[in-house]
Structure 1
Amino acid sequence: MSTDLALIRVDGRVREVSAPALVPRVDRGSLADLPYDNARQHPDVVVFSRRDAEDGGWKDVTAARFAAEVHAVAKGLIAHGLRPGDRLALMARTTYEWTLLDFAAWAAGLVTVPVHPTSSAFQTRWILQDSGAVACVVEDAGQGRTVSAERRRLPGLSHLWVLDAGAVRQLRDAGARVPDETVTARRGLLTPNTLATLVYTSGTTGRPKGCALTHANFFAEVDNAVKLLHPVFAPEGGEPPSTLLFLPLSHVFGRMVAVGCVRARVRVGHAPSVEGDALLDDLASFRPTFLLAIPYVMEKVYNRARATAERSGKGAAFDRAARAARRYGRTEAPSLPVRAARALYDLLVYRRIRAALGGRVRYVICGGSPLGVRLAEFFRGAGVEVFEGYGLTETTAASTVTPPLAPRTGTVGLPLPGTGVRIADDGEVWLRGPHVFAGYWDAQRGTAVPYTDEGWFPTGDIGALDEDGYLTITGRKKDLLITSAGKNVAPAPLEDWLRAHPLVAQCMVVGDNRPYVSALITLDHEGLAHWRRMRQKDHLALWELARDEELLAVVQKAVDDANRLVSRAESIRAFRVLTTEFSETSGHLTPSLKLKRRAVLRDFAREVEEMYGPESAYE
C-alpha cells in the first residue's frame, strides 16, 4: 500500500481516499503533438506494426513514418474544408487506419467522434446529429450505406469517406498542395483544455450521451497510468514492450491505451476481429508483451483451455492445476509446497495458457466489469499478472487500478495517481481528478455542460473502500434489486460468478419487488458444443438441452456455488435456461457487452413470470 494515500474516515470507516499525481499536469500543447515529438526525438523507434495484405506478416512503422502519414492525412482533411473544432466521426473496427485518422484529425484541429462499427442506423444517425459531425469515415461499403441512407436527415454532414475504397490515399492526395505550415498553425491553436473527442456512452436505456473529453483529460490519465504501471509500459531490461489492440477503439478503454502507447512509444498492432481463431492467430504472430482485455476475453481463454484438456482426457489434471494456481495467486508469500506445485504445473499447463496469448504476455490490463476473484487468482498463479481497473467513459477510462507489487484480489485497486474516490451516504462511488470529463455535450449550445460545481462526479456505481483505500464495486445503483421483503440485492457478483462458468454465456439476475431472487441464463456456444460432444448428446436440439436433466444439474451446481457469495435472502432460488442468446444484435447487450436489463425483462417477461409460479418457488 502506498504511504502517500490520504484517507478520510467517517464513523470509523474509510469514506474517501486520494492519491497524489506522479507527474505534473501538461500545461501546453495537445495530443496532436505526440507523433511529431516522437519523430523528432526517436525517429527510428518502431511505434506500430501493420498486417501486410499480401503475405500476412507484420510490417513495422517507425515514429518518423507515422508522423509523416499523420501530417499528410491532416493536410487532406484541411484541403476538404474542415475547420478547427469541426467534428469528424470514425466508424470502423480496430485498425491502424483508425488510430492514424484519430491523430491526423487532432493535427488538423478537429474533434473526433467514435461510432461503434456495429451501430444501427438509428444509433449512427443520432450520434452524427447530436455531435454535429461535418464529416465521417467508415470502414466498408456496408457502413457507408448505413450512413448514406440517413444523409437527408444529416444536412450538416458534408463528407463521407470509405477506408476500403482508399479513403486514406484520397485524403493524402487531396492535401498534397496544402502548405506544411497550415498544419503547424492548426496544432498551435490547441491547448490542453481544447476538446479532443466526443465519446458517446453506449447506454443501457435511452439515447447515448456525448462525453466531452479534452486533451488534458487524456494527458492526466495516460501519463499517470504509464508512470504507475512502469513494468508494463517501460520494463527494465528485456524485450521492448508491445501490445495487440483488439477491443473497439470506439470505446474509451481501448482508445486510452492506444494514446498511452503512442505517448510511451510502445509498439502497437491492431486486430480487427475478436473471434476466437482469428484473434489467436494474430496473438501468435504478433507476440505482445501485454494486453488490455475485458473479463469476457479472459473467461474465454480459461474455458477454452479447460475444454481442450477435457477432450484429451486431462480435465481432472487441469482442475488440479487451476486450484494450485489460485492458491499461489491469492498468497503474498507462497509456501514451499505451493511454489513447488506451481512450478510443476507451469510446465504441464500454465505455459500453454501463456502460449494461447502469444507466448510473451506477462501483463493484462483488465476493465469494463469485475474479472472475479477466481480468474484473477488463476491468471496470476499461471504467470500473467492482471491489473484490474475501474472507470467510466466520463473519467477517460481508469480511475482506480491494481498497484504493481500490491495486488488485492477482489478489488479494483487504489485510486489512479491524481484521483480522489469518495463513497456517498447511499454507497455510490464519486470520483474527482483532472481525468474527469468536461461535461456532457449539449447539441443546442455546441459545447459541453459541466456536470457539477463541486468537482466530484457521481458514477452511479455502488462500492466500498477497505481500510487501506482499495475500492470494491458491488453493482450499479440503478440495478439494485429490492425484494418484496425489503432486501437490497446487488446482482453483479452473482452474474459475474455465473458468467465465468464454461456453459454460461450471459446471466441476468431478477427479483425486484419479488419474493425471492431468480436468474435468466443463456448458454455459451463453444462451451455447450464441447459439453454435448463429451456426453454424446449432439443429437439433441437446443430446446431439448435447455430441459436436459444432466445439463440443468450442472447449471444448478454453478448456481449453488454462486449462492455461497451471498446471504440466503440474496441467493438465486430459481433459474431458466433460455434457448436464445443475449447479443448486441438482439438488442439485449450494449456494444461493450453490458446487459440491457429493461430489454431483457420486456422480451422474456413470460419466462420471468414462470419462475415465480407456485411450482418454481422453494424454501
Structure 2
Amino acid sequence: MLFSFIQSHDQNHIALRSNDHEITYGALLRQIDDYCARLTDVDVLGLALDNTIEWLLWDLAALKTETVCVPIPPFFTRQQIDHTIARAGITHMLSPAGLQATGQSASPTIPRGTAKITFTSGTTGTPKGVCLPASAMENVAHSIHTMLGNDFAGTHVCVLPLAILLENVAGVYSGLVAGCTIVLPQLGDFDANYSSLHHHLKQNAATSAIMVPELMRALLLQVIKQGPLPDLKFLAIGGSRVDPHLIKQARNLGLPVYEGYGLSECASVVSMNVPGHDRIGTTGSLLPHVQASITDGEIVIHHPGFLGYLGETAPGHHLTGDLGHMDEDGFVHVTGRCKNVLITSMGRNISPEWPESVLLAQPGIYQTIVYGDGDPHLSALIVPTGPHADVSACIASANETLPDYARIKHFRIVAPFTVENECLTGTGRPRRKNILQQYLSPLAVKETPMNFYDQLVAQTAIARAELYRVPQLVDGLQGRISRPTYIAYLTEAYHHVKHTVPFLMAMGSRLPDEKRWLHKAIIEYLDEEEGHEEWILNDIAAAGGDKDAARKAAPNLETQVMVAYNYDYITRKNPVGFLGMVFMLESTSTQIASMGADAVMNGLDLPKSAFTYLFSHGSLDIEHMKFFEKTVNQITDPADQAAIIEVATNTFRLFANLFGAIPHVSEVRDVA
C-alpha cells in the first residue's frame, strides 16, 4: 500500500531531502529497488545509523522485500545493543562502517509476518521487542493521512530519531502517503539542548513536525526569543501527558500544537487531535482503524495489530497499563499509568502525571517528578529552566489550578534528569524508580524553605501570569508589533518612569524612625534610576518618533491610575508597600529586556540606539533583583510584608491595564 502511494505522486516532487542530497518520488522507487537487491542474503537487518536518507532507503527496501528490520535507537547503551542483536538474531548490521554480517542466526521466536521489531527501552534497562507486520504500520500511516487530509501535505522535518516508531511511521510513512517532502537533519546537527531546533524548522520552512513534550517546551522558549514559525501547520505532541495550559501558551505563540497518544504495540499512534476536530486536554479521537474500550479505568486496545513480543504469543487485545476514559464525543482522556499511582496517607489516589503536567506548563520548570506515596501531601523534585527561575512562583501558580489534595507542599531543586545519569529513557520518559532512589536518599537536601522574597514571588504569580497574557506584551515578546505600537509603549513608559525618583523620595520621607535603615537602599535606587525617563525620550527619537510631543502628551488614564495608586499608598497607607511596585517594575523589565528587545529590534529593523532603555534593564535589573531580594528578606514586620505583596499584586494588574490600553495591531510579516 505504501509503495502504491509513492508511485501515485508527482514523480518530480522532492520526496526526501538532507543537508546535501535530494531524491524525487520517481527516483525514490528506483533507489529502493537498488537497495532491495542488496538484501538478498539478509534475514534480519539491524539499522544503526543517524537520521539520513540512507536509513530510510534501507528501511523501505526491507519493508518491500519482507526482510525483518530492527531499528537500533541511538540512545541505546552498548549492553542494550548487544541484547537486541542476540534477542532478535540480527544477521546483518548496518552502521556507518557499512553492511556487515554479525554471525547470528535469525531468532526462531520471531512471529511469521513480522516486518519490523521495535525495541522499547521502557522504564527498565532491558529492551523489549515488539513485533509488527507491515499492515499495522501502513494502517497507522493511512489513518493519519485520512484524518489530516492533503491540506497538511507539505514539508515534514524529522527531529526525533527515525528508530522511534512515532517518527518512522507517523512522521515518514504517513508523510510519504500524503506526498510530503521529508527533511532529515542528522541528530548530530542538534546539541544536547536542541537549541538549534527553531533554526532547522525555519530554514526548511517546515509545515509539520513531531515532538515529545520536552522538545516542545524548548521550542516554545526559542519562539519567544527568535520569533514565530509561520510555515508550521501541524505540530504533533506525544510521549507523555501535556498540560492544557502549555498547549494554550504554545498556540498563543503561533505554534499549531495538537496532542496525540500512541503505543508501540499499535505501531505508534492510537488517537490524535487534528485541526477542525480538536479538544485541548484530551489526546484526540481514535484513528479510523483503531477499536478501544475502558475496563476498570484502564484503556484496552482491541486487535492492536502487533504479532506479539519476541518469545511471547500475541494477545487478542492489549491492556495498555494506561488509565483513562473516553468522553461522549469520542475524545480519549489519558490520565496516567496504573503502576505510577500514588496513594496518600489521606487515602487519595493520584496519578503523578497530572500535577507533573501542570508543573511543566510553568515557564520556570524544565523537568519534574512528583512523589508522596503514603505521605499526607505531595512533594516534587524540580529541575528549573535556569538559575533565575522563580520556582516558588511556578509551584504557586500550578497549585492554583489543582485541588488541595493534589497540590505540591514541598519541593527540592535537583540536577537535570538525563539518559547518561539513568534518570531518563532514550525517548525522554522519566525512570521514576532511578530518580527517586538517586535524589531521595538520606543524604538528600531538605525541602527548600520559603523566605519573604520567595513568598512575594509565589503570592504574585497569578497576577504576573495575567500580565503576560496581554496581547500587546505577548506580541512584543515575539517581535510582532508595529513601530507606532513600540513608540506608544515608550511614551507611556516615560510617563510612569519619570515618577520613579519622586516615588522613592516620597517613600523615604515618610518612613518612621525604626525603618530608616531602608534609606540606604532608597539612596542606591535613586542613584540608579535618575535620568531613565530621558533615555526613553531618546529611544523615541531614534525610533522615528517625536520626543517633545511624547514629553507633552497626556498619559493614558490607565497610566495615570497606576501612578496615582502608588502616591496614594505611600502617603495614606504604608510607604514600605512601594517596594511592591519596585518588584513589579524590575522583574517585568528584566523579562521584557531579555526576551523582547532583540525580537522587536529585528522585527522593526531599528537601530540599537532605539532600545537604550530596554537593553540597559536586561543586565541592570538582574543586579537590582539580587539587591532587592537581599533587602526585602530583612523586612520582618508582617504588616510591611503584607503591604509589599498587596502593592505588587495590584501593580501587576494595573501594569497589565497600561499595556492593554496601548493601540495595537499585531504586525504580520512575510518571513518566508
TM-score band by shorter chain is 0.5 to 0.7
Which has a greater percent of helix? 2
Give the alignment partner of residue 138 of structure 2, picking from 215, 219, 231. Answer: 219
User: Using a 3 Å threshold, how does the CA distance of structure 1 residues 612 and 62 change in structure 2: closer, same or farther?
Assistant: closer
Identify if the C-alpha distance between structure 1 residues 76 and 613 changes in structure 2 by more than 3 Å, giving closer, same or farther. Answer: closer
Q: What's the RMSD between the two structures over aligned residues?
A: 2.9
Give the match for residue 92 of structure 1. 49
Scaled by the length of structure 2, the TM-score of the pair is 0.61
State whether residues 224 and 417 of structure 1, in contact with CA within 8 Å, keep that contact through their aligned partners in structure 2.
yes
Given the alignment of the two structures, is residue 116 of structure 1 paired with residue 73 of structure 2, yes or no? yes
* CA deviations over 1:266-289 (Å, ceiling 9, x no partner): 111101234334433322321122
Flag the structure with larger Rg.
2
Closer, same or farther in 2 for the Cα pair 1:118/1:476, shift >3 Å?
same
Whether contact under 8 Å (1:574, 1:611) holds in the other structure is: no
Is 1:439 matched with 2:308?
yes
Equivalent position SS for 1:221: helix
Q: Counterpart of 2:320 in structure 1: which amino acid?
A: T
1:465-480 pair list within 5 angstroms: 465-480=326-341
CA–CA separation in structure 1 for the residues paired with 2:285 and 2:7: 35
Whether the aligned pair in 1 keeps the contact of 2:381 and 2:413 (CA below 8 Å) is yes
* 1:67-86 matches, cutoff 5 A: 67-78=29-40, 81-82=41-42, 86=43
Query: Which residue matches 2:221?
Result: 303
Q: 1:449 aligns with which of 309, 313, 337?
A: 313
Which among 238, 248, 259 is matched to residue 173 of structure 2?
259
Answering whether residue 419 of structure 2 is matched by residue 584 of structure 1, we say: yes
The alpha carbon displacement at 1:611 in A equals: 5.1
| Cα displacement (A) at 1:584 | 0.6
| CA deviations over 1:493-523 (Å, ceiling 9, x no partner) | 2212222333322101111122321111123
Kindly state the Cα deviation for residue 203 of structure 1 after the two structures are TM-superposed.
0.9
Q: Which of these residues, 120, 127, 131, is aligned with residue 84 of structure 2?
A: 127
1:63 and 2:20 aligned = no
- Report the Cα distance in structure 1 between the residues aligned to 2:346 and 2:241, rounded to whole angstroms: 28
Residues 284-306 of structure 1: CA deviation (Å, up to 9, x unaligned) = 32112222222222211222344
Distance 1:565 1:431, change over 3 A: farther
**CA distance change for structure 1 residues 266 and 614 in 2, over 3 Å: closer, same or farther?**
closer
**Corresponding residue for residue 247 of structure 2:** 376
Instruction: Give the gaps of 5 or more residues in structure 2.
Output: 452-672
- Percent of paired sites with the same residue: 26
CA contact (8 A) 2:152 2:233 kept: no
Amino acid at match of 1:423: I
The match for 1:272 among 169, 186, 205 is 186
Q: CA deviation at 1:609?
A: 6.6
- Give the letter aligned to residue 243 of structure 1: H
Q: Which residue of 2 aligns with 1:420?
A: 291
Superposition deviation, residue 93 in structure 1: 2.5
Inter-partner Cα distance in structure 2 for 1:206 and 1:193? 27
Residue 27 (structure 1) aligns with? none
Residue 115 of structure 2 aligns to a residue whose secondary structure is strand
Which residue identity is paired with 1:419? V
User: Is the CA contact (8 Å cut-off) linking 2:52 and 2:186 kept in structure 1?
Assistant: yes
Relative to structure 1, is the Cα distance of residues 602 and 266 closer, same or farther in structure 2, using a 3 angstrom cutoff? same
Map of 2:15 onto structure 1? 47
Equivalence for 1:513: 374
Take 2:449 and 2:219, find their aligned partners in 1: how far apart are those partners?
40
Change (3 A) 1:467 1:379: same
2:231: which partner in 1? Answer: 360
Retained in 2: the 8 A contact 1:136–1:157? no
Answering whether residue 436 of structure 2 is matched by residue 601 of structure 1, we say yes
What is the distance in 2 between the residues matched to 1:381 and 1:502? 14
Distance 1:203 1:377 in 2: 29
**For 1:586 and 1:100, how far apart are their aligned partners in 2?**
34
Aligned partners of 2:198 and 2:223 also within 8 Å: no
1:46 Cα deviation after fit? 1.9
1:438 maps to a residue whose letter is L
State how far apart, in whole Å, the 1-side matches of 2:370 and 2:216 are: 22
- Output the amino acid matched with 1:92: L
Contact 1:49/1:60 (CA < 8 Å) preserved in 2? Answer: yes
Which structure has more RCO (C-alpha within 8 Å, separation ≥ 6)? Answer: 1
Q: Is the contact between residue 307 and residue 314 of structure 2 (CA under 8 Å) also seen in structure 1?
A: yes
Normalised by the size of structure 1, how large is the TM-score?
A: 0.66
SS in 2 for 1:388: strand
In 1, Cα distance between equivalents of 2:450 and 2:442: 13
Q: CA deviation at 1:261?
A: 1.5
Distance 1:157 1:51 in 2: 36
Q: CA deviation at 1:378?
A: 3.0
Could you say which residue in structure 2 is the equivalent of 1:405?
276
Moved over 6 A (4+): 612-616
Q: CA deviation at 1:469?
A: 2.2
Q: In structure 1, what is the Cα distance between the partners aligned to 2:253 and 2:367?
A: 26
Equivalent position amino acid for 1:261 in 2: G
Count, aligned residues: 442
Q: Deviations over 1:540-569 (max 9, x none)?
A: xxxxxxxxxxx5xx2112112222333222
Residue ranges of structure 1 left out of the alignment (5+ in a row) = 1-29, 53-58, 159-191, 235-240, 310-351, 443-447, 532-550
Distance in 2, matches of 1:484 and 1:44, equals 65
- d(CA) in 2 for partners of 1:607 and 1:263? 55
- Paired residue secondary structure (2:235): strand
Distance 1:436 1:380, change over 3 A: farther
